[in-house]
Amino acid sequence: MTETIDLSLYTKPAGDGIVGMDLAVEGIACGACIARIEGAVKRVPGVTEARLNFTNRRLHIAWADGAVKPAQILQVLEDNGYHGHPFEPLRAEQEEAIEARRLTRYLAVAGFAAMNIMLLSVSVWSGNVTDITAETRDFFHWASALIALPAAAYAGRPFFASAWRALKARSLNMDVPISLGVILALGMSVVETANHAQHAYFDSAIMLLFFLLVGRALDHAMRRKTRAIAGNLAALRGETAHRFAGDELVIVPVGALKAGDRLLIKPGERVPADGAVLGGMSEVDESLITGETTRRKVTTGATIYAGSMNYSGALTLKVTAAGGAALIDEIEKLLDKAASAKSRVMRLADRVSRVYAPVVHLTAALTLIGWLFAGATLHDALLTAIAVLIITCPCALALAIPAVQVVASGALFQANVILNSGDAIERLAEADMVIFDKTGTLTLPEPRVANSAELDYGLLQNAARLALSSRHPLAAALAREAATRTPFEGAVEEPGRGVRVTIDGAEARLGAAEFCGIPCNLGRESDGISHIYFSCLGQALAIDISQKLRSDAVAVIKTLRAQGLDIEIMSGDHCDAVEPVAQALGIARWQAGLKPAEKIVLIETLRDNGRRVLMVGDGLNDAPSLAAAHVSMSPISAADVTQAQADAVFLGERLKPVLDAILVARSARTLMTENLWLAAIYNAVAVPIAIAGAATPLIAALAMSGSSMLVTLNALRARRVKS
């Protein structure tokens, strides 16, 4: 049987007989990689373009249709020490890219207009206290109007549109006072200019738009960055499947699978889609789905789920649902319910703006009425009210939270944490309790050798090197111990039994006990530990393979507790497997054998008691509880559905990112609150001045830019990760 890779799903015609493909590239370490990758790919005959985007680690290639096989290029990357994964940009990501570009254009126009108007305004202000003539001032004001009106009409569109939507829905949002303020200020300034007045507010209106757009662009940039990383991760995980096409086996990306496809699943592979077993016999490890570490025997007719690990034999599978579309019904129902409960949590920014928008309108209206009662003319009262509207508009407020979020998400990224949602930072900071799943979360996702310290080093190394030639998951665990990555030459794998090879004239065998000629009583039998045997020159090893704690789990749990967080374990695995883990970590409260529904009930009870739970889990069975928890994290090895539910995903083999995430989030939360207070103090000072009618354009400009700068500088402090 020949194997070919079919990547036609990912190639896109680019006109003129050229086709293109995007790859997410793994293993890029430094700037030299750019030249190495592009050079190597361009040397493939037929390739017309190769361009690596270093920022998002993506390679765009184009070639004359038919001249190059896509698989060839993956091989070239592989030969140079990189892994390329075909990549399909998510629709949402493309839309966000367009939106980002539009926001940048608005920002550029507003920035240009603000600078030029300020140039004119500063001249007028200094002229007003020296010897400017009325004609020159009018000329400068008209020039300002010429710049400000088109610029505001263009750059103000996102605010006007959003305010209009809110008004149509008979509600108020932050954009309503903003739009009202900008439009009134510009309109009044035109009238004032026509009447040869001393003050015009073109600069305030445009500067307001500029600062607000900065806040919005920052907010957007962060969401886009996390989305791009999430897209890359999805591609890097992008597994392939062996699909039968007649008698041939074709390697296809999992994304191309359809219901009804027949697949071959070899031992050591993850099941790529839900399906029914057509033939073969094997054991599957469903710990990613149920949390249980005991393997299940499957044979013809059994249903297996995407994400299970196939252990011993090859299976033929008929796909019933591709792409993990069909979950176990129970989980899907629970997930829906839990997710709808979560949307009730309101973001800090929304809470503030809900209070703030009516207050702004009320203050402006009261100012108008107050001045009218005090005997001012309608013109003067209106002028003051508009000044109040402009001054209270939330420049600093609009920057206070996005700026901190951008800086904090950068710090989190360095700590190997990737955020799925922007407001996760706020909720992470509020957590007062952490609930861990066991399998794959507190323990490493793959099993490891448990008794390496008791074994002879030389023999273990031989065994580990021999294990490199096997695809069996237990052998893969053993192979991690190998000091060299070169397998023995001439190793033969006997499927379902083991591998053998001749080392220096003596036969060495690795595998099941009888395969190695070892009586079965060598290993200690206990739950959760599997054995693999090695024999060579009459010497024998019984190697224990079991789930192993993440290397820093004990220290991290201790520090989390010192931070005032309660720790609990909720596992779907059975008691005997959970107890030793809980003991090793010194966690007194643990529960085992929980079904997804039971986990949710426990979390909801905690929530009703006022606890804010951070749930950390990786299994498909954890997905509903992740959605039900106040905030959630999952390791990158987690099931797709689970990762999609998690507010943050952490990378690597250590548990420390969980701790770092909480620490960064807490300091970010403090900074957000500080920033909101800074903005409030600014208002407390500036608003009375405006109400008193003393807010000249100069004061407005100083107050607005001063407070915006202050909150931005304060936000930069979130860069420091405390550890």
Partner 1 sequence: MNVLIYLLPIALALGLSGLFAFLWALRSGQYSDVDGAALRVLSDDDIEGTPQR
Q: Can residue 103 be called a binding residue for partner 1 (CB under 8 A)?
A: no
Per-residue binding string, partner 1, 294-333, x by CB under 8 A, is ----------------------------------------
| Span of 29-37, 222-230, 383-391, 519-527 interacting with partner 1 by CB under 8 A | 29-37
The first and second tokens of residue 626, run together, are 């992740």
Q: Can residue 101 be called a binding residue for partner 1 (CB under 8 A)?
A: yes
| Span of 104-112, 195-203, 312-320, 714-722 interacting with partner 1 by CB under 8 A | 104-112
Report, in Å, the least distance between residue 133 CB and partner 1.
7
Report, in Å, the least distance between residue 697 CB and partner 1.
19
Binding-site size for partner 1 (CB under 8 A) equals: 26
| Span of 111-119, 186-194, 439-447, 653-661 interacting with partner 1 by CB under 8 A | 111-119
- d(CA 337, CA 50) in angstroms, rounded, equals 46
Asked if residue 24 lies in contact with residue 58, where contact means CB atoms within 8 angstroms, the answer is: yes
User: Widest CA span of the chain, in angstroms?
Assistant: 110
Q: Can residue 94 be called a binding residue for partner 1 (CB under 8 A)?
A: no
Among 83, 105, 266, 524, binds partner 1 (CB under 8 A): 105
| Span of 83-91, 113-121, 192-200, 695-703 interacting with partner 1 by CB under 8 A | 113-121
Q: Can residue 551 be called a binding residue for partner 1 (CB under 8 A)?
A: no
Q: List the 417-419 sheet strands across, edge first.
A: 417-419, 648-650, 631-635, 613-616, 433-436, 566-570, 590-591
- d(CA 473, CA 546) in angstroms, rounded, equals 11
Answer yes or no: 437 catalytic.
Answer: yes
CA angle (129 as vertex; 127, 131 as ends), nearest 5: 55
- d(CA 88, CA 605) in angstroms, rounded, equals 41
Q: What are phi and psi of 19, to 5 degrees?
A: -120, 150
- CA-closest candidate to residue 404, choices 665, 192, 625, 113: 665
Task: Exactly one of 437, 573, 618, 647 is catalytic; name it.
Answer: 437
Report, in Å, the least distance between residue 55 CB and partner 1.
5
Q: Can residue 414 be called a binding residue for partner 1 (CB under 8 A)?
A: no
- d(CA 278, CA 303) in angstroms, rounded, equals 10
Among 108, 122, 492, 713, binds partner 1 (CB under 8 A): 108
| Span of 46-54, 68-76, 532-540, 703-711 interacting with partner 1 by CB under 8 A | 46-54
Q: How many Cβ atoms from other residues are within 10 Å of residue 334's Cβ?
A: 23
Per-residue binding string, partner 1, 643-672, x by CB under 8 A, is ------------------------------
Q: Can residue 122 be called a binding residue for partner 1 (CB under 8 A)?
A: no
For residue 539, the surrounding DSSP H or E stretch is strand 539-546
Report, in Å, the least distance between residue 352 CB and partner 1.
32
Among 14, 34, 249, 503, binds partner 1 (CB under 8 A): 34
Buried b (16+ CB within 10 A) or exposed e, 38-52: bebbeebeebbebeb
Among 1, 32, 129, 453, binds partner 1 (CB under 8 A): 32
Q: Can residue 98 be called a binding residue for partner 1 (CB under 8 A)?
A: no
DSSP reduced 3-state for 365? helix
Q: How many Cβ atoms from other residues are within 10 Å of residue 9's Cβ?
A: 13
Q: How many Cβ atoms from other residues are within 10 Å of residue 451's Cβ?
A: 17
End-to-end, the C-alpha distance of the chain in Å comes to 54
- CA-closest candidate to residue 43, choices 6, 82, 80: 80
Report, in Å, the least distance between residue 651 CB and partner 1.
19
Q: Can residue 24 be called a binding residue for partner 1 (CB under 8 A)?
A: no
| Span of 35-43, 275-283, 394-402, 567-575 interacting with partner 1 by CB under 8 A | 35-43
- d(CA 190, CA 128) in angstroms, rounded, equals 19
Among 11, 112, 128, 561, binds partner 1 (CB under 8 A): 112
| For partner 1, the closer CB: 120 or 477 | 120
CA R_g for the chain: 32
The first and second tokens of residue 251, run together, are 């390697």
The first and second tokens of residue 30, run together, are 């430094």
Buried b (16+ CB within 10 A) or exposed e, 228-240: bbbbbbbbbebeb
Q: Can residue 104 be called a binding residue for partner 1 (CB under 8 A)?
A: yes
| Span of 31-39, 290-298, 511-519, 665-673 interacting with partner 1 by CB under 8 A | 31-39
Report, in Å, the least distance between residue 278 CB and partner 1.
47
Q: Can residue 109 be called a binding residue for partner 1 (CB under 8 A)?
A: yes
| For partner 1, the closer CB: 232 or 643 | 232
Among 18, 119, 302, 597, binds partner 1 (CB under 8 A): 119
- Relative orientation angle of helices 348-373 and 395-414, to the nearest 10 degrees: 170
Q: Can residue 36 be called a binding residue for partner 1 (CB under 8 A)?
A: yes
Among 8, 45, 78, 139, binds partner 1 (CB under 8 A): 139
The Cα-based distances of 685 to 211, 394, 699 in angstroms read: 20, 14, 11
For residue 237, the surrounding DSSP H or E stretch is helix 202-237
Would you tell me which residues interact with partner 1 (CB under 8 A)?
30-32, 34-36, 39, 52-56, 101, 104-105, 108-109, 112, 115-116, 119, 133, 136, 139, 143, 147
**Residues with catalytic function:** 437
